[in-house]
Structure 1
Amino acid sequence: MASRFKIPHIASSEITSETAYFNRRELIKVAGMAAVPTALAGCSSAESAETPLDFAAAGDAGAGFTTSEALTPEGDVKSYCNFYEFGTDKGDPAKYASEMTTDPWSIEVDGMVNKPGKLNLEDIMGFELEERIYRFRCVEAWSMVVPWIGFPLYKLLEKFEPTSDAKYVEFRTLYRRSEMRGTRSFTNIIDWPYREGLRMDEAMHPLTLMAVGMYGKTLPNQNGAPIRLVVPWKYGFKSIKSVVQIRLTSKQPDTSWQALAASEYGFYSNVNPEVDHPRWSQRYERRLPSTLLNPNRIPTQKFNGYEEQVGALYAGMDLSKYY
Structure 2
Amino acid sequence: MFIKRPPNGIDLPFPSEITPRAVYEGRRDFLARIAATAAVGTGIWEMANREAFAQAAGQRLAAQANPALSTSEKQTPFKDATRYNNFYEFGTDKSDPAENAHTLRTRPWTVTIEGEVKKPVTLDIDRLLKLAPLEERIYRLRCVEGWSMVIPWVGYPLSHLLRQVEPTGNARFVEFTTLADRSQMPGLRSRVLDWPYVEGLRMDEAMHPLSLLTVGMYGQVLPNQNGAPVRLVVPWKYGFKSAKSIVRIRLLGKQPRTAWNDSAPNEYGFYSNVNPNVDHPRWSQATERRIGEDGFFQPKRKTLMFNGYDQVASLYTGMDLKKFY
Tell whether the structures are fold-level matches, with TM greater than 0.5. Answer: yes
Give yes or no for the alignment of 1:145 onto 2:150: yes
Q: Which position in structure 1 is the counterpart of 2:5?
A: none
Q: Which position in structure 2 is the counterpart of 1:246?
A: 249
Q: How far apart in 2 are the matches of 1:200 and 1:244? A: 19
Q: Which position in structure 2 is the counterpart of 1:20?
A: none
Residue identity opposite 1:199 in structure 2 = R
Q: 8 Å contact 2:210–2:234 — kept in the other structure?
A: yes
The alignment covers a number of residue pairs equal to 281
Map residues 182-201 of structure 1 onto 2, 5 A cutoff. Answer: 182-185=187-190, 188-201=191-204
Q: How far apart in 2 are the matches of 1:43 and 1:189? A: 26
Question: Residue 98 of structure 2 aligns to a residue in which SS?
Answer: helix
Q: Which position in structure 2 is the counterpart of 1:285?
A: 288
Normalised to the residue count of structure 2, the TM-score between the two structures is: 0.83
Query: Offset at 1:9?
Result: 8.4
Residue identity opposite 1:275 in structure 2 = V
Q: How far apart in 2 are the matches of 1:43 and 1:181? A: 17
Map residues 40-119 of structure 1 onto 2, 5 A cutoff. Answer: 44-50=50-56, 51-60=59-68, 65-119=69-123
Write out per-residue CA displacement over residues 150-198 of structure 1, whole angstroms, 9 at most, x where no aligned residue. 000000111110001100000000011011001023xx31110000000
Question: Residue 286 of structure 1 aligns to a residue in which SS?
Answer: strand
Residue identity opposite 1:172 in structure 2 = T
Aligned residues: CA RMSD: 1.8
Find 1:133's aligned residue among 138, 154, 158: 138
Question: Residue 210 of structure 1 aligns to a residue in which SS?
Answer: strand
Q: 8 Å contact 1:289–1:296 — kept in the other structure?
A: no
- More relative contact order in 1 or in 2 (CA 8 Å, sep 6+)? 1
Q: 8 Å contact 1:112–1:162 — kept in the other structure?
A: yes
Question: Residue 47 of structure 1 aligns to a residue in which SS?
Answer: helix
Query: Offset at 1:124?
Result: 1.3
Q: 8 Å contact 2:76–2:293 — kept in the other structure?
A: no
Larger Rg: 2
Q: How far apart in 2 are the matches of 1:155 and 1:291? A: 37
Q: How far apart in 2 are the matches of 1:293 and 1:170? A: 37
Find 2:166's aligned residue among 157, 161, 168: 161
Q: How far apart in 2 are the matches of 1:132 and 1:161? A: 26
Q: How far apart in 2 are the matches of 1:85 and 1:68? A: 32
Q: 8 Å contact 1:287–1:296 — kept in the other structure?
A: no
Query: Which sections of structure 2, spanning at least 5 residues, go unmatched?
Result: 1-39
Map residues 14-33 of structure 1 onto 2, 5 A cutoff. Answer: none
Q: 8 Å contact 2:66–2:137 — kept in the other structure?
A: yes
Taking every aligned residue pair, what percent have the same amino acid on both sides?
57
Q: How far apart in 2 are the matches of 1:290 and 1:90? A: 17
Segments of 4+ moved more than 6 angstroms: none
Change (3 A) 1:276 1:49: same
Residue identity opposite 2:86 in structure 1 = N
Query: Which sections of structure 1, spanning at least 5 residues, go unmatched?
Result: 1-7, 15-41
Change (3 A) 1:254 1:103: same
Normalised to the residue count of structure 1, the TM-score between the two structures is: 0.84
Further displaced range: 292-301 or 224-233: 292-301
